[in-house]
Amino acid sequence: MVRLARSHTTVSVERATLRLAGLSGADHEGIPWVNHLVDAVRAEVGLERGVTTPVFDALRRGEAPDLLILAQKAASGSVSFQLPDGRGLTAARRAARREVSQGIRRIDRQRVARERLVRRHGDPKQTPWIYLIVATGDIDEDIPQAQAAAREGADVIAVIRSTGQSLLDYVPEGATHEGYAGTYATQENFRLMRAALDETSKEVGRYIRLTNYASGLCMPEIAVLAGLERLDMMLNDSMYGILFRDINPVRTFVDQRFSRQIHARAGIIINTGEDNYLTTADAVEAAHTVTVSQLLNEFFAKEAGLQDWQLGLGHAFEIVPEIPDSFRMELAHAMLARQLFPKAPLKWMPPTKHMTGDIFRGYLLDGFFNLVGAMTGQSILLVGMMTEAVVTPFLSDRDLALQNVRYVLGAAGGLVEDFHPPRDGFIQTRARTVLGEAVGLLEAIVADTSGRSGGVPPLLAAIGDGTFGLMKRPADAGKGLGGVVERAPGPDGYDNPATTLLEEGSSR
């Protein structure tokens, strides 16, 4: 899989690279200049050698004075791109590296700024950190809601994206006010929210972290924007887009690797999406798919340079509450994750699927969810809302939910010290069963030879024949496949200064 990711690029990886080189903005129809430039280069000379070489070669030849004007001219078809060789090639690559490294250094500065602000304002006093979602669709509404949530006790604010953004093959521009069930992820929205939360951090005396989503067709670009604007956590899952958005598997793995390299550099904590396996399948039957996904997420994350403290692996409280021992099984699953990944900041997510219009029952369930979080030492706790099945939360829903969390953490937070389920008791046995099933599934994937003849790695073959989430996602289908390009081999082949700088760990 890694070899596959390293031997391909995508339109979004190339656009992300241009964003690092400083190209931003969009035409009057909202189509970003990075899209215009990548499309024009692709049409004329292809992307097999990367977008930066022909782009910086064109600048060197005086086609335009800067990237923006080059993109504008490219959009109207009045630039000609070439693939330079010899001295021209060396010079274009050197120029590209110089410009792209500026973006990388800006990400480095934001990381330093975060470290400074955390020292100044402090981390949350308790673990788990309290994670709350806002989702109004309008950045101007999101900001006061996020600030109010932080004042009420939230340590991490997540701004959910508008439905449909994951399938846009461009990143919208500017401050936005019209999302559906979420707010568009744009560079300007990121900047506005981060600035507002910096104010609030000062006021409440702890650093309030900001989260968004690096998923969908623009994963690499969103990761770059998050690094440039100092977001602190990003949802970033290795298979979510494939399974739940029908994005092409190769596109996803290529985009994912680049986006995670950026996150690693930016000091961002990723959040993975294992909760989704439990909302689409039965949480008891599918418990082991969570473990398998966590292991895969961990592998791909480390391969991309992320460290243990950056792995917010996910899991969730989604067992049907009515079945006997449901709470004991939740405890078993949560402890299993905690013990398998002792150094990772695990993200514990609340019941959603079995929440109903009975908000009183929902409040009790959320209390039990919080209790599992406290007893098993989870790191990030996504706050559950009793109105989950009814509305996007009211102000009072959030306040009640935070009271619930505070009560449980205050009353039972210390239980993590006392709680040691007995050897071979129900909890241990259940955890062992789930782990056994997870190992079994991984073995079955490794043994899957259905793709061998076509040179498809076993994991892709497994995704293709419906091993995960019951969804069949073949490697040669799905959205965004048209944006995948095989890299040209050899010394004058593919070049991407961003990847080089990230892999070398250098900044010039």
Q: Which residues bind another protein (CB under 8 A)?
A: 137, 148, 151-152, 162-164, 167, 180-181, 244-246, 279-280, 353, 389, 392, 394-396, 399-400
Q: Decide: residue 408, CB within 10 A, 0-12 exposed, 13-18 middle, 19+ buried.
A: buried
Measured CA to CA, the distance from residue 21 to residue 488 in angstroms comes to: 22
| Best CA proximity match to 11, nearest among 169, 228, 227, 165 | 169
DSSP-derived secondary structure letter, 8? E
Residue in 173, 232, 298, 388 binding ligand B12, rule: CB under 6 A: 388
Piece of the chain touching ligand B12 by CB under 6 A; list 246-254, 389-397, 410-418, 442-450: 389-397
Per CB under 6 A, 244 contacts ligand B12: yes
Catalytic, out of 142, 207, 347, 397: 347
Pairing mode, if any, of strands 156-159 and 209-213? Answer: parallel
Q: How far is the CB of 387 from ligand B12 (least distance, A)?
A: 6
Site size toward ligand B12 (CB under 6 A) is: 17
Binding track over 172-201 against ligand B12, x by CB under 6 A: ---------xx-------------------
Mapped onto helix, strand or coil, the DSSP state of residue 47 is coil
* Interacting partner of 63 out of ligand B12, another protein, none (Cβ under 5 to 8 A depending on kind): none
The label of the residue with tokens 């590209």 reads: 96
Contact 278, 233 (CB under 8 A): no
Q: Which ranges of 130-181 does DSSP label H, i.e. alpha helix?
A: 139-151
Hey, which bits of 344-428 come out as E strands? 347-349, 380-382
**8-10 and 484-486 beta bridge pairing:** antiparallel
Catalytic choice (131, 184, 240, 363): 240
Q: Within 76-135, which residues bind ligand B12 (CB under 6 A)?
A: 135
Q: Does 427 bind ligand B12 (CB under 6 A)?
A: no
Q: Is 397 a catalytic residue?
A: no
End-to-end CA distance of the chain: 29
Which residue, 82, 66, 61, is CA-closest to 18? Answer: 66
Candidate ranges 159-167, 228-236, 340-348, 482-490; the one touching ligand B12 (CB under 6 A): 159-167
- Give the residue, chosen from 279, 428, 433, 500, that forms a contact with ligand B12 under the rule CB under 6 A: 279
Calculate the CA dihedral of residues 341, 239, 255, 10 and round it to 10 degrees: 160
Binding residue for ligand B12 (CB under 6 A) from 34, 160, 283, 434? Answer: 160
Q: Which long-range contacts (CB under 8 A, 24 or more apart) does 63-72 make?
A: 67/18, 67/21, 67/22, 67/23, 67/33, 67/37, 67/99, 68/23, 68/25, 68/33, 70/37, 71/23, 71/33, 71/34, 71/36, 71/37, 72/27, 72/33, 72/36
Strands (E), 59-189: 129-134, 156-159
433 binds, among ligand B12, another protein, none (CB under 5 to 8 A by kind): none
Judged by CB under 6 A, the residue of 68, 389, 435, 442 near ligand B12 is 389
Q: Is 275 a catalytic residue?
A: yes
Catalytic residue, chosen from 57, 237, 275, 495, is 275
For ligand B12, which residue has the nearest CB? 182
Specify whether 240 is catalytic: yes
Which listed option, another protein, ligand B12, none, makes contact with residue 151 (CB within 5 to 8 Å by class)? another protein
**Mask for 318-357, x = binds ligand B12 (CB under 6 A):** ----------------------------------xx-x--
160 binds, among ligand B12, another protein, none (CB under 5 to 8 A by kind): ligand B12
Residues that bind ligand B12 (CB under 6 A): 135, 160-161, 163, 181-182, 244, 276, 279-280, 352-353, 355, 388-389, 391-392
Q: What residues are labeled active site?
A: 240, 275, 347
